Amino acid sequence: MDNTGRKTHGKSKKIISRFLIGIVVVLLVIVVGAIALFWNELRTISSITKIDDYGAYQMTYYGDYGFDEFLEVGAQSDADIEKFVVRKLLKGIPIDLGVTGGGCTCFVVKNEQDEILYGRNFDYSYSPTLQVFTEPKNGYASVSTVNLSFIGYSEGNLPEGSVFNKFLTLAAPYLPCDGINEKGVAIASLSVPNAEAPYDSHKITLNISTATRLVLDKAATVDEAVELLQKYNIYFSYDIAAHYLIADASGKSVLVEYYDNELQIVETDSNYQIASNFIAYNGVNIGGGGTEFKRYNTVEKEILDNNGVLNEDDAVSLLAEVGVRDGDIDNLQWSAVYNLTTGEVHFFSHRNTDNVIISKLKMNHN
């Protein structure tokens, strides 16, 4: 009796042991499968680094973000972009995009080495910021800046801590506000009081941020950027109109505006170009009643006072000077100085010139 009991007990222990081992094996298979499925996403999320306590981060995007596929269908609305991003990048996790413009200032100028600098301010309500480094297989490497409030992040909800809390940053390639690519093409969008974009039913439609991604991924020159933009319809998210300042490593720059139901090009007859929040085409100078003309004039005076030449430190100081204030509220969210010749980027948050983050994009001017 005792031996039989011991044998039965031993068999039960073996069965339980095998069962537990089986569960562990299944769990390991699930974990390994999940890691394999989300490998690039996990690498991307784990690359997020905080660079300023105001809420600024850097991230390297690994893998394909599906932009060529997106360009085949485009989007008639932000809801269409949301659906594509949720399916392609977020594995079904919902997102609510809120892409709008801000009160911004940009300029293109040479430094003492004849290198081309592109200065950019983004003025808005509190906006956590993400610098995104991308290297698509069928496009140019770039670094761009994303307003994370457009995908739901805020002062009380930053992309920190758990993987899940950072997951929405995977949508970032579709939300650039400004950036530079390896060919030395820089672009930024700035809000304007109104715009009238042409519409052709035979063309794919993009919004302002995905058109910015188009230029960063596909354009090697200003001329190519303009040609690309002419191939697509443009809509303005939340009906916030915008225009673009685009420049390249040769020093050429243009302002692209949607006015009078046409894509209009504003060139410069100087060795610099400035953009603010007013329509400049054909000298109409339509503003919104803010500080857009004052900021423009301040930048122009500084450039002329320095004989058309600013170094990186000058550009940083000038951006900090012209950032928008609304009474006691400082609306300057981020500033960037892109060197279109060397690929060096000087970035700082919220007028904090004591913490200028310098990074470098490897350039390919061939």
CA distance 2 to 9: 10
CA distance 140 to 187: 14
The structural domains of the chain, ordered by start, are 39-360 (3.60.60.10)
Handedness of CA 242, 197, 66, 83 (dihedral sign): positive
3-state DSSP assignment of residue 74: coil
**pLDDT for 308-341, tens place per residue?**
999 999 999 999 999 999 999 999 999 999 999 9
- State residue 34's pLDDT score: 53
pLDDT < 70 positions in the chain: 1-14, 16-22, 24-37, 98-102
3-state DSSP assignment of residue 346: strand
Look up the pTM and report it.
0.90
Contacts of 349 (CB under 8 A, 6+ apart): 52, 54, 55, 56, 129, 333, 334, 335, 355
- State residue 23's pLDDT score: 73
**pLDDT for 7-25, tens place per residue?**
555 666 667 666 666 676 6
Buried b (16+ CB within 10 A) or exposed e, 330-355: ebbbbbbbbbbbbbbbbbbbbbbeee
Angle at 48 between CA 180 and CA 320, to 5 degrees: 50
CA distance 152 to 97: 7
**pLDDT for 54-100, tens place per residue?**
999 999 999 999 999 999 999 999 999 999 999 999 878 888 776 66
Nearest 5°: phi and psi at 162? -70, 155
The full DSSP string for 11-44 is HHHHHHHHHHHHHHHHHHHHHHHHHHHTHHHHHH
- State residue 9's pLDDT score: 58
